[in-house]
Amino acid sequence: MKYTIVFAVLLAVVLQEAYGASCPVSCKKYKASNCRYYYYYRWGYGYTRYYYCSSYRSYVGTCYTNCTHGGWSNWSDYELYEECPVMCGGSTGMAFKTRSCTNPAPRNGGRNCVGEDTQDQVIPCNTDACGARCPTDSVKYHAHPTVPHNYYQCDPGHKKAFLKNCTEGTVFNAERHTCVKANAQHGDCFHGQMAAHPTDCGKFLSCVHGQMNEMPCPSGLHYNRVTKTCDWQDKANCQLR
């Protein structure tokens, strides 16, 4: 019983602190001036003294009003600052979580919350296994679901699909598994037509705006004439003419 009473008192103090606090505010007050004692005669009682002020002057003083001190909301879930560097297979990224001084919000001069409203932490991301999406014996590509100039590349042995970027002005072509010029149009050559580069195994030719243009393979890969994709060098078997 004793502990129940103590807990109830503590709870009341906490609630009073948050929701029923009294905060100082500036207000106009008045002070009496030209005050003095006056006397008058009452028959049978003699002289009687009384105090009288003939005027008042105003000044800015301190009053107290009901107020509410701020309280923190719950923390949000963690959110990555930048996209996870893999589509699957697991990696880590810097993330943040936030909270706000709204539970309750300060009111009528109540105190703001004390402490940070943001916290950072490195968290795991996209930890699901790639499985058949990334075979261990070949390079495979996946288009990014929302960003045209991004794509994912599966490297044999890693069992991960790494986030990659096309060069400026190009977008990923899911059918050709490579980057092509943005806004490519049909022209004199067949749209999407591809061919090996005559002097550089790390490049290939692609029909863009009716002309064959040089396009780079991702770093370390060669153009494969058979599959018409950028591939590992031992599989591409590039032979310059």
Number of domains in the chain: 3
> What length does the chain have?
241
Domain span at residue 117 reads 79-125
- Judge if 118 and 144 occupy the same domain: no
Whether 170 maps to a domain, the answer reads: yes
Q: Is residue 98 part of a domain?
A: yes
Position 1 in a domain = no
Provide the CATH number for the domain around residue 103.
Answer: 2.20.100
Q: How does pLDDT run across 56-113, given as a tens digit for each residue?
A: 888 888 888 899 999 999 999 999 999 999 999 999 999 999 999 999 999 988 999 9
Tell me the mean pLDDT in the region 153-162. Answer: 86
Residues 198 and 219 in one domain: yes
Who's near 78: CB < 8 A, 6+ residues apart? Answer: 95, 96, 97, 121, 123
Q: Does residue 115 share a domain with residue 25?
A: no
Confidence at 209, pLDDT banded by 50, 70, 90: low
pLDDT value at position 9? 38
Same domain, 167 and 100: no
The structure tokens 């009682």 sit at 45
102, 149: one domain: no
Structure tokens at 170: 């190009």
62 and 113 share one domain: no
**How high is the pLDDT of residue 13?**
41
163 and 188: one domain?
yes
Q: Are residues 140 and 230 in the same domain?
A: yes
Residue 10 lies inside a defined structural domain of this protein: no
140: phi then psi, degrees, rounded to nearest 5: -135, 145
Residue 2 placed within a domain? no
Distances (CA, A) of 79 to 87, 93, 220, 234: 16, 9, 33, 40
Burial 121-148 (b: 16+ CB within 10 A, else e): eeeebbeeebeebbeeeebbbbbbeeee
Instruction: Evaluate if pTM is beyond 0.85.
Output: no
Q: Does residue 7 form part of some domain?
A: no
